[in-house]
Amino acid sequence: MLRALGRASTGPVTVGDDELAALRSMLRRVHAALRDAERLSVADHSARLWLVELGDLEYRAEDVFEELEYECRRAAQLEDLKIDLLRAAGAAPTTGKRKREVAQLFAAAPAARLRRKIDDIWARYGEIASDRKRLRLRPGDGAARRPAAGALVPSSSLPRGEIHGRERDLQRVTDLVYRCKPDGGRNYTVGAIVGMAGVGKTSLAQHVCSEEAVASQFDLNLWAWVSQEFDVVGMTAKIVEAITRARPDCSELSALHGTMVEHLAGKRCLLVLDDVWDDNPIHWDTITAPLSCCAPGSTVVITTRSKMVAKMVTPNVYHLDCLSDEHSWYMCRRRASRGGATIDDELASIGQQIAKKCRALPLAAEAAGTTMNTSVTREHWNNVLESNLWADNDEAKNNVLPALKVSYDHLPAPLKRCFAFCSLFPKSFVFDKDALVQLWTAQGFIKTRGECRPEDVGAGYFYDLVARCFFQLSPSHGIGKGKYVMHDLYQELAQFVSGHECRMIHQLNLTGANKTTRHLSIVHDETNSDKELLLKSFCSHDLRTFLFLARMEQVIRGEMPCRRKIVPCGLVTDFECLRVLDLSNTDIVEVPKSIGSLIHLRYLGLDNTGIQMLPESVGALFHLQTIKLNHCSSLTQLPQGIKLLLNLRCLEIAHSNVQMPSGIRVLTSLQKLPIFKGCSVQGTILQPF
């Protein structure tokens, strides 16, 4: 069966069922290759370029399938609405121009253009596959690169730094170690120290182990570094090696357990398992099974970045937070003054500002201090202060970001995409959980199964990132408000891992965007706010996200941001692949009728704008899931065609004087719809769904 897409001057253009099946098969292979690559650390430059090109091909193929689907639905669903609108235009005292506008609504896409897109996809697929074969390195092309020397594996015997600013934490963890009671029927206690990368969990555990009040309580003081690469047998062997001070000569789990029992029986032991990632309870039970032979009062302490791991092993959890700015400056100053350098008051003033950029993370403070120590001069320190501290110096790139990236590498593939997308938001941005999940869903990052709602799955993704310390509750909002913040260094990490695909740029400074950018945000500042933005010359035609972000100071204070005078020109007509379009807090007063051409659009944000109506062409946006019209005081009605948006899940119209159109009750996918007292739909009181 042939599916006609329309007619060109040369006759009908069709796509046969066989070609559709071949396209789907190609897309599945591309998708599988990209998902496999997400589980690997790809260092080869040619391979990374190949994956970028393959990702671009995946985007194009997805767009074509949606265009094919749209053309099938357009004729079936939009023609009736068009007839109704023409009838209404004929009955009302409207102009001929209005009738012509209605007649042109929902026109079919030029078939030749869609045919050309399909042909280009096949040609590009063949080119990428062919180049990959020709350019792939062969085994004899060079010797393998030797791995760089890694960081020292932590242990209780390594030299410890000062515990400045952690005295209270030290006392509380010490109490946790030898005063907590056993739980779960065990004769030993388990305690967990949890916190983000670089916050000082290992250092704190080292100090606790060496405290006389702690060490004197135990016959054996053992330390084992777990790390990301987890293996039950290998981990058990590490514990045996810590006990016997010799590498075991067997690799069978039962024999290793026997050795542990032989050496631990009847002894009071302190075992530290540092940097635990695995959250499989069966693995945990297997490793700790021999500890039941220890004497009562034995203790296991784990350090982890994951709240899920901590919760799995014990209810005795200590959450280690960042330092104060004062203590962060102390660490910077101590490292910067190594070698006897003198720091005067003027340098100290600059240094304190640098320390604030570390956002109280000890690892960052140490790295910043090392950078400052290379030249203890006002000129150098001012350069450090004005630079991007985490992208422009080797100390940060070699020590800070790699430590954080381990957390990213351990994420499941869907969470990696969700986290990288957060690079679109500026530092100190206050994230709304529900809004972020809606954006992830619009981009297809949320994978649902069965009858699970995408809102629930997306919330699970978000709370997983919270549990892994990628987000923290916003200190400016109460618990339960759904507001979160991200540490500056994690925001830097998001920008690093997203590469060119995501770009956050400040208004009028578009040097960061390029032709490979798929997701773009503009953070508004008030400088030259009347100047028009020309995005087309900077961004790819295949842009999928455009966010216009207001300044955060007003949002944090709970105020509505001022409406900005800039609306990027040509955004609707130039970027037809958009999934997300958010022009909230701009001075836009009219949504162009051409918005109906954005057939891939899932998310439309127009909060706090001066729009008076939405065009009927919105009815053609079959994939639309979220419409936000909060604080649109001039808006009085919604288009009749909104009843065709069967995928609409969220309609927000708070503080807007909107009269609901008839037929909205057919939108059974709606999960969120504000109910206004006395608001009616054609005379019928609107009831909750």
Average pLDDT over residues 465-471: 92
Q: With respect to residue 142, please indicate whether it lies within any of the assigned structural domains.
A: no
Per DSSP, the three-state class of 548 is: strand
Percent of the chain at pLDDT > 70 equals: 76
Q: With respect to residue 461, please indicate whether it lies within any of the assigned structural domains.
A: no
Same domain, 284 and 336: no
Same domain, 281 and 344: no
Q: What is the pLDDT of residues 516-533, one digit of tens each?
A: 789 999 887 655 455 555
Same domain, 234 and 278: yes
What 527-533 contacts at long range (C-beta under 8 Å, 24+ apart), as own/partner pairs, is 529/564, 529/565, 529/566, 530/565, 530/566, 531/566, 532/566, 532/568, 532/569, 533/507, 533/508, 533/566, 533/568, 533/569
Q: With respect to residue 145, please indicate whether it lies within any of the assigned structural domains.
A: no
Confidence of residue 244 (pLDDT cuts 50, 70, 90): very high
Domain count for the chain: 4
Count of CB atoms situated within 10 Å of the CB of 419: 24
Average pLDDT over residues 64-75: 80
Which DSSP string do the residues of 489-534 spell out, in sequence order? HHHHHHHHHHTTSEEEEETT-GGG--TT--EEEEE--STTTTSPP-
Q: With respect to residue 160, please indicate whether it lies within any of the assigned structural domains.
A: no
Q: In which element (H, E) is residue 3 found?
A: strand 2-8
Same domain, 609 and 501: yes
Confidence of residue 650 (pLDDT cuts 50, 70, 90): very high
Q: Residue 199: which CATH number?
A: 3.40.50.300
Same domain, 308 and 261: yes
What is the structure's pLDDT at 212? 84
CB 605 within 8 A of CB 582: yes
Domain of 14 in residue numbering reads as 2-136
Alpha-carbon distance 523 to 525, whole Å?
7
CB 607 within 8 A of CB 585: yes
What is the structure's pLDDT at 519? 93
Which DSSP string do the residues of 156-221 spell out, in sequence order? TTS-----TT-HHHHHHHHHHHHHSPP-TT-SEEEEEEE--TTSSHHHHHHHHHH-HHHHTT-SEE
Same domain, 341 and 302: no
Tokens 């809004």 map to which residue? Answer: 435
Phi and psi (nearest 5°) for 276?
-90, 130
Q: Is the pLDDT of residue 466 over 90?
A: yes
What is the structure's pLDDT at 11? 40
Same domain, 204 and 247: yes
> Which of 290, 319, 348 is the endpoint of a domain?
319
Helices (H) and strands (E) in the chain, counts: 24, 19
Same domain, 377 and 273: no
What is the structure's pLDDT at 586? 85
Same domain, 294 and 193: yes
Alpha-carbon distance 329 to 473, whole Å?
24
Question: Higher confidence at residue 633 or residue 680?
Answer: 633
Same domain, 546 and 475: yes
Question: Higher confidence at residue 83 or residue 552?
Answer: 83
Q: With respect to residue 147, please indicate whether it lies within any of the assigned structural domains.
A: no
Same domain, 385 and 431: no
Q: What is the pLDDT of residues 270-319, one digit of tens each?
A: 999 999 998 899 999 999 999 999 999 899 999 999 999 999 999 999 99
Q: With respect to residue 564, please indicate whether it lies within any of the assigned structural domains.
A: yes
What is the structure's pLDDT at 357? 85
Phi and psi (nearest 5°) for 16?
-80, 160
Tokens 């708070």 map to which residue? Answer: 654
> Which of 319, 339, 360 is the endpoint of a domain?
319
Q: Is the pLDDT of residue 12 over 50?
A: no
What is the structure's pLDDT at 154? 57
> Which of 271, 300, 319 is the endpoint of a domain?
319
**Identity of the residue numbered 37:** A
**Mean pLDDT of the chain, nearest integer:** 80
Q: With respect to residue 229, please indicate whether it lies within any of the assigned structural domains.
A: yes
Q: What is the pLDDT of residues 372-408, one digit of tens each?
A: 888 889 998 988 888 776 665 566 666 677 788 888 8
Q: With respect to residue 613, please indicate whether it lies within any of the assigned structural domains.
A: yes
Q: What is the pLDDT of residues 560-574, one digit of tens each?
A: 666 665 555 566 777
Average pLDDT over residues 58-82: 78
Q: Is the pLDDT of residue 623 over 50?
A: yes
Tokens 């759904």 map to which residue? Answer: 482
Lowest mean pLDDT among 185-194, 365-374, 393-402: 393-402
What is the structure's pLDDT at 148? 40
What is the structure's pLDDT at 463? 95
Confidence of residue 5 (pLDDT cuts 50, 70, 90): very low
Q: Is 277 exposed, middle or buried (0-12, 13-18, 19+ CB in 10 A)?
A: middle
Same domain, 188 and 114: no
What is the structure's pLDDT at 507? 58
CB 643 within 8 A of CB 664: yes
Q: Is the pLDDT of residue 626 over 90?
A: yes
Question: Higher confidence at residue 131 or residue 86?
Answer: 131
Beta bridge partners of 483: 432
Q: Is the pLDDT of residue 472 over 70?
A: yes
